[in-house]
């Protein structure tokens, strides 16, 4: 694939186009990409609203003017979607293109000066531009390395706001979720994984003004959203439905209408990335994470490893990610699940997560509404309210399936 495609994808973001486009000229791109870059550049220059442009909109805009080229350029757009460009990496590419152009021009001007066709000042100007470019490329600690300032570190990883859990036990153990945090919940079927999500995510929706993207590829989406309603409002089904209009208004107000659920049994990772890029969510929920399409490997555990690596990258780029997975048959009737109970996984799945939460339950009489939480991995930094002694704690909580909530026992 052509690396210049990463520039086009990054420049779909208006602010980044403004920041870096002055370094580039159309001729810096390969011939077949120049028309595409002209379309993107022209859109931003005439876009009075100063909005980002989605790749699908860019494709439609491009093909509306060049319908006969659709077959060739559709492949290029598919390649663009596959990129996950980082600003610093793309900036290095931009500088290399800029340098190559200046060197080509310098070569031509030097020949013309030697032939007496151009004044030497033309070469001097190009040399000055090259020297200035190289000076900008000199790196400092602040440019490429993690800060060594403790106050700055604490501000980024401990003091920065995050999304808190409804369960106080999880606030004391895991602490809030922040951008870059990737973890997953796992349990046996019929344990209450979706109820757990409904309980926690409905509470997190109250804490942000940005959307929460929930990708549902298992249970029917309408049923899941009904449980989210119940969890948010703390109502059983009959009173919830007694006045649908009032319940809807109360739910949308309480959650800030932030919960955006995409229901598809065949959700592809590229669709998830596209929606994340478009909506810039505060939280990403994927139920079930191992069922995301678009990954291939010789063995199932290796494919799962690729999926979970992608989940980590998603968290670093956009927002914290909560994944959901299954526990294998050895976890049946086990209270405290450990990493070895994760279905079809060996090491790579567990290695990628910052936190792992197992939901266990027992079939013993009298314990039907008790769920056993075990944090088998916790690399989160927490905040002032977390208790270091609870980082890998085992906890008992209650599940109230009638209102789709988990409740602290203490």
Residue-wise pLDDT tens digits, 118-131? 666 666 666 666 66
Residue 392 buriedness (CB in 10 A; 0-12 / 13-18 / 19+): exposed
Q: Rounded to an integer, what distance in angstroms lies between the CA atom of residue 347 and that of residue 359?
A: 20
Say whether the peptide bond before residue 276 is cis (omega within 30 degrees of 0).
no
DSSP class of 177:
B
Q: Kindly list the domain boundaries of the chain, sorted by start residue.
A: 4-143, 160-408
Q: Are the CB atoms for 201 and 214 separated by under 8 Å?
A: yes
- For the beta carbon of residue 262, count every other beta carbon within 10 angstroms: 15
- For the beta carbon of residue 275, count every other beta carbon within 10 angstroms: 20
Sign for the pseudo-dihedral over CA of 9, 84, 133, 122: negative
pLDDT given at position 142: 47
The predicted model gives 93-97 an average pLDDT of 87
Residue 123 backbone phi and psi in degrees, to 5: -70, -40
Q: Are strands 321-326 and 283-287 parallel, antiparallel or unpaired?
A: parallel
Q: Rounded to an integer, what distance in angstroms lies between the CA atom of residue 157 and that of residue 147?
A: 12
The rounded mean pLDDT for the chain is 88
Q: Rounded to an integer, what distance in angstroms lies between the CA atom of residue 334 and that of residue 331?
A: 5
pLDDT given at position 209: 93
Reduce the DSSP state of residue 77 to 3 states and report it: helix
What CA dihedral angle connects 204, 208, 214 and 220, to 10 degrees? Answer: 60
Q: Tokens 């678009």, residue?
A: 294
Q: What's CA 34's distance to the chain center, in Å? A: 30
The predicted model gives 50-76 an average pLDDT of 84
Domain 160-408 has CATH 3.40.50.300: yes
Band (pLDDT 50/70/90 cuts) for residue 136 is low
Residue 269: CA count within 13 A, CB half-sphere: 21
Band (pLDDT 50/70/90 cuts) for residue 156 is low
With CA atoms as reference, report the closest residue to 344 among 297, 386, 377, 381: 297
Residue 24 backbone phi and psi in degrees, to 5: -110, 155
Q: What's CA 294's distance to the chain center, in Å? A: 16
* Residue 259 predicted with pLDDT over 90: yes
Residue 81: CA count within 13 A, CB half-sphere: 23
The predicted model gives 174-194 an average pLDDT of 96
Band (pLDDT 50/70/90 cuts) for residue 134 is low
* Residue 141 predicted with pLDDT over 50: no
Q: What is the pLDDT of residues 309-331, one digit of tens each?
A: 999 999 999 999 999 999 999 99
Residue 147 backbone phi and psi in degrees, to 5: -60, 145
Is the pTM higher than 0.75? The answer reads no
pLDDT given at position 365: 95
């Amino acid at each position: 694939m052509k690396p210049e495609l990463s520039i086009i994808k990054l420049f779909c973001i208006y602010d980044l186009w403004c920041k870096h486009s002055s370094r580039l000229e159309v001729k810096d791109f390969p011939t077949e990409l120049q028309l595409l870059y002209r379309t993107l550049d022209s859109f931003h220059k005439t876009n009075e609203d100063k909005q980002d442009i989605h790749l699908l909109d860019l494709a439609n805009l491009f093909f509306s003017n060049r319908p006969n080229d659709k077959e060739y350029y559709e492949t290029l757009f598919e390649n663009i979607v596959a990129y996950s460009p980082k600003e610093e990496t793309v900036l290095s590419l931009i500088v290399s293109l800029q340098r190559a152009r200046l060197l080509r021009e310098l070569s031509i001007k030097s020949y013309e000066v030697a032939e007496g066709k151009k004044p030497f000042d033309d070469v001097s100007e190009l040399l000055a531009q090259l020297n200035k470019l190289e000076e900008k490329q000199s790196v400092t600690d602040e440019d490429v390395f993690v800060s060594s300032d403790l106050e700055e570190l604490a501000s980024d990883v401990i003091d920065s706001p995050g999304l808190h859990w409804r369960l106080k036990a999880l606030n004391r153990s895991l602490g809030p979720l922040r951008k870059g945090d990737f973890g997953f919940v796992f349990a046996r079927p019929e344990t209450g994984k979706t109820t757990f999500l409904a309980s926690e995510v409905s509470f997190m929706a109250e804490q942000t003004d940005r959307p929460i993207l929930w990708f549902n590829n298992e249970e029917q989406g309408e049923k899941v959203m009904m449980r989210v309603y119940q969890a948010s409002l703390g109502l059983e089904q009959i009173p919830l439905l007694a006045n649908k209009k009032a319940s809807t208004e109360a739910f949308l107000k309480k959650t800030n209408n932030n919960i955006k659920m995409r229901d598809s049994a065949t959700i592809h990772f590229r669709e998830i990335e596209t929606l994340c890029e478009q909506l810039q969510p505060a939280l990403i929920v994927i139920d079930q994470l191992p069922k995301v399409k678009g990954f291939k490997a010789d063995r199932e555990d290796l494919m799962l490893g690729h999926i979970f690596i992608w989940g980590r990258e998603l968290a670093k780029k956009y927002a914290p990610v909560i994944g959901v997975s299954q526990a294998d048959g050895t976890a049946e009737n086990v209270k405290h699940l450990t990493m070895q109970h994760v279905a079809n996984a060996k090491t790579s799945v567990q290695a990628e997560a910052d936190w792992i939460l197992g939901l266990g339950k027992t079939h013993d009489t009298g314990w039907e509404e008790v769920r056993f939480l075990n944090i088998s991995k916790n690399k989160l930094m927490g905040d002032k309210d977390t208790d270091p002694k609870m980082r890998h704690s085992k906890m008992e909580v209650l599940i109230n399936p009638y209102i789709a909530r988990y409740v602290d026992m203490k």
